[in-house]
């Protein structure tokens, strides 16, 4: 079998690819964590009626998940 002429550079290339993969995975995990936190905060906000007049007022806030239940 023929030996590789630049064995060190092949290993270095593999390490660079591995680093890029790790950075992409870490960036994706951070993205998901931030997305989860922002989504959790927005879903915890109460559904208050609009203070402006007009027909776009919401009737009976639904922050509890029991909308119109008796």
* Residues 15 and 21: beta-carbon distance below 8 Å: no
Question: What region does 52 belong to: left with phi over 0, alpha with psi -120 to 50, or beta?
Answer: beta
Residue linked to tokens 């009976």 = 60
Condensed to tens digits (0 to 9), the pLDDT of residues 44-68 reads 666 666 555 555 545 555 666 666 6
Average pLDDT over residues 27-45: 87
Name every residue whose Cβ is closer than 8 Å to that of residue 36 and which is 6 or more positions away in sequence.
none
Q: What percent of the chain has pLDDT over 90?
A: 36
pLDDT value, residue 39: 86
Average pLDDT over residues 16-34: 97
């Amino acid at each position: 079998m023929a030996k590789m002429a630049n064995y060190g550079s092949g290993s270095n290339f593999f390490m660079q690819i591995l680093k890029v993969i790790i950075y992409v995975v870490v960036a994706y995990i951070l993205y998901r964590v931030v997305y989860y936190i922002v989504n959790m905060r927005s879903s915890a906000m109460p559904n208050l009626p609009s203070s402006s007049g007009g027909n776009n007022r919401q009737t009976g806030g639904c922050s509890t998940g029991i909308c119109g239940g008796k």
